[in-house]
Structure 1
Amino acid sequence: MMTASNGPVRQSSVRAHNLALVLQTVANRADQPSRAAIATLTGLTRATVSALVDDLIAGGLLVERDPLPRTGAGRPAAGLALSPDGPAGLGLEINVDYLAACVVDLAGTVRHRAVRPTSPPVALSDLASLAGEVAAAASADGLTLAGAALAVPGLVTPGGIVRVAPNLGWQDVDVPALLAGAPGLAGLSISVDNEANLAALGELRAGGSAPTFLYVSGEIGIGAGIVLDGVLYRGGRGWSGEIGHVTVYPDGRPCRCGANGCLEQYAGQSQVADDPELAASALGIALSAVVNLLDIGVVVLGGAYAPVFDQLRDGIEAELRRRVLTAGLSPVELRPAVLGADAAIRGAADTVVREVRENPAAWLSRAV
């Protein structure tokens, strides 16, 4: 087999592709397809599907379910489903005043969840402890962690280095290296990403929004995840979405980033509690600028904004109507996050699970 651009395709590559095709077919179906149904859906032969399914069952990725009763002739076929006891993803979140963790199984079901308060000086050590507790709970439940992903409120390099997280007081922190020795995390791959990016991915995969939307996460700091046609937009250096440092009042309050009048100083968590009308107005001003620039028609409010959405909605929408050039032609849709405050940890855990679902061959090679 040849391709014009890549030369010969190895047999192992064909197998890896077909394993992913079968697993994704099962994952994307609302029913529990049989082997014969998978062959029809994928175009693979029944013999090939049967061999691949056997491998996926042996590797703990699929399970067979009792067949549904049928009225026609012949023996009903067993259905296939993602294994609830197979590999799982550990999602972690670190923020200024709290930590969170959850374990999500291969089907996307949350199996364990924990939240605890913290403060920046002890946040990493507290997180290591929390991660170890949740990892132990997952192990006791018969789950094997495939990896961990951490959401942080800052600028993160592709290698997981937190270049700067002003609200945590971090600069050039190698978080994966510092967490590698934590109980329960030894040997696990640990990825790190901006919390708003992971929350946006969580929201996208939960099916709660259109394929193009702006996700805004409000905590002590404010971040945004930009999703365009189903793909997270990261920017040229991977640092897009810092909406908290968009200037809304040029001569306004000083921000810890060094500028004045940043959105974060008017619409952070404490500001929302003290003066929700001012917070809503400031949010509306900043969101209008993003909508005018990127032509995004849906804005999702998550994090601490989700529980107080009804308090903020009118003020934000008033500014959007006033400032968005196309508001009269197509009003911006504003809504709360489907996953609420858990969007970041759900999105983090889901990135781990999706790696397994998209490349089961790599997982099977580990399991040998």
Structure 2
Amino acid sequence: MSASLPAGQHTVRRHNRALVLHTVAADEPVSRARIATRTGLTRGTVSSLVEELLAAGLVAELAAARGGTGRPANPLELNRSGPGGLGVEIGVDAVGACVVDLTGAVRARRVATSDHRTHGPAVGLEAAAALAADVVAEAGLPVTGVGLAVPGVVAGNVLERAPNLPLWRDVDIVARAAAVLGPVVGDVPVTVGNEADLAALAEQRAGGAGDDFLYVSGGIGVGAGIVLGGRLFGGSGGRAGELGHVVVDPAGPPCTCGGQGCLERAVGVEELCRAAGVDDLDALAAAADRGEPATDAALRAAGHALGVALAGAVNLLDLPTVVLGGGYPRLGAVLRGAVADELARRVVWRSPVAVRMSALGGEAALRGAAMAVVRAVLDG
């Protein structure tokens, strides 16, 4: 719709309906009178819109409080039995699925090992669909949409490239996912996003990171989500955030992207395990907890490399906070401290950059994918 044309009646009503729904979400339990005050809408308009939301199963009426004077009001809250969002994550070596209700609470979640490095999309999508069937059955909510998180460059509905998944290139991942998940959830919208971007949005909702931060997803690959002014920054085509392929050592080892000396070859979880002499993230986290010298040395070296890359991003974008997510929160204070020290040394302004561990850890991308569906419902 052209910005020069006035909004039609339907558009205005849809906007006001979303305004009321967001107010319920922010203030629940909340009365109709309070909604009118907060939104500036008339009480008659609010009552009419609330009736629509009740009929759609998006809000629920609570019992009126007793003991006051006058007619007691029935407060409103989001309907915990209303439409839910299904989140699906396909990683390099795992798949996950979860269902959240309209409040964002996780109602069911499953994660399973599934290695996709030598397989095309069909294997990962089938594995994800099996988990999706389990969580949808367990949650018992009507699913209104699917959010899909993938570890690669996403533009529109297409996964253009995933360096650690060489057979996943220029895949219309939305169409493929809709076909596989259709028997599980029916004909509902499917959207796709980069896993780090979706994790950043989930982290923002969890609170504590503020409205301007850089989220780093540490796994086999390394990605980033950039939040500026409370909104995800995707760049001109939605492809921003490929932090793992920033070069930190021009003479370093070759990378799966075709380059050399990329950050993820220094700070990816598999690289950290090799440097520490352990088999997997669980063993790495346990060694970090014990303060094993080889593990501490590996984490300090990784923190140095990560700090070098992050300092460039922070200096360029003027970001006050860095959030370390994915597998990094399990690795403790040594990694965080090394990153913070490097940022203090390299960022050009005096105010210190806050370095936080993710509140959601490895669940952030999966939660973010499911919450993307709920946000679409709340936005009308």
For structure 2, the 5+ residue unaligned runs are 277-297
Shift of 1:162: 0.7
* Contact 2:114-2:127 at 8 Å conserved across structures: no
Secondary structure class of the residue paired with 2:87: strand
Runs of 4+ more than 6 Å apart: none
Corresponding position: 1:333 with 2:332: no
More displaced stretch, 112-121 vs 312-321: 312-321
| Alpha-carbon displacement from aligned partner over 1:293-341 (angstroms, at most 9, x marks no partner) | 1111100000011111323022112211221112xx1111001011111
Corresponding position: 1:101 with 2:100: no
| Counterpart in the other structure of 1:200 | 200
Q: CA RMSD in A?
A: 1.8
Secondary structure class of the residue paired with 1:239: coil
Paired amino acid for 1:13: T
Paired amino acid for 2:102: L
* Contact 2:159-2:173 at 8 Å conserved across structures: yes
Match of 1:119 among 92, 99, 115: 115
Corresponding position: 1:227 with 2:251: no
Paired amino acid for 1:6: L
Shift of 1:223: 0.3
CA distance in 2, matches of 1:10, 1:112: 40
Secondary structure class of the residue paired with 1:241: coil
CA distance in 1, matches of 2:108, 2:122: 20
Secondary structure class of the residue paired with 1:181: helix
Match of 2:321 among 291, 298, 312: 298
* Contact 1:263-1:282 at 8 Å conserved across structures: yes
CA distance in 2, matches of 1:39, 1:294: 39
| Counterpart in the other structure of 2:334 | 311
Match of 1:48 among 20, 45, 52: 45
Shift of 1:136: 5.2
CA distance in 1, matches of 2:160, 2:307: 29
For structure 1, the 5+ residue unaligned runs are 360-368
Change (3 A) 1:338 1:32: same
CA distance in 1, matches of 2:121, 2:229: 35
Shift of 1:133: 4.0
| Counterpart in the other structure of 1:20 | 18
Identical-residue share of aligned pairs (%): 49
Secondary structure class of the residue paired with 1:101: strand
* Contact 1:104-1:110 at 8 Å conserved across structures: yes
- Per the normalisation by structure 2, the TM-score is 0.88
Shift of 1:99: 0.9
CA distance in 2, matches of 1:75, 1:336: 48
Match of 1:69 among 58, 66, 69: 66
| Counterpart in the other structure of 1:37 | 34
CA distance in 1, matches of 2:12, 2:258: 53
* Alignment size in residue pairs: 351
Secondary structure class of the residue paired with 1:224: strand
Change (3 A) 1:135 1:45: farther
Shift of 1:232: 0.8
CA distance in 1, matches of 2:368, 2:16: 26
| Alpha-carbon displacement from aligned partner over 1:147-166 (angstroms, at most 9, x marks no partner) | 111111111111x2111001
Shift of 1:281: 1.2
Shift of 1:122: 6.5
CA distance in 2, matches of 1:95, 1:189: 21
* Contact 1:67-1:76 at 8 Å conserved across structures: yes
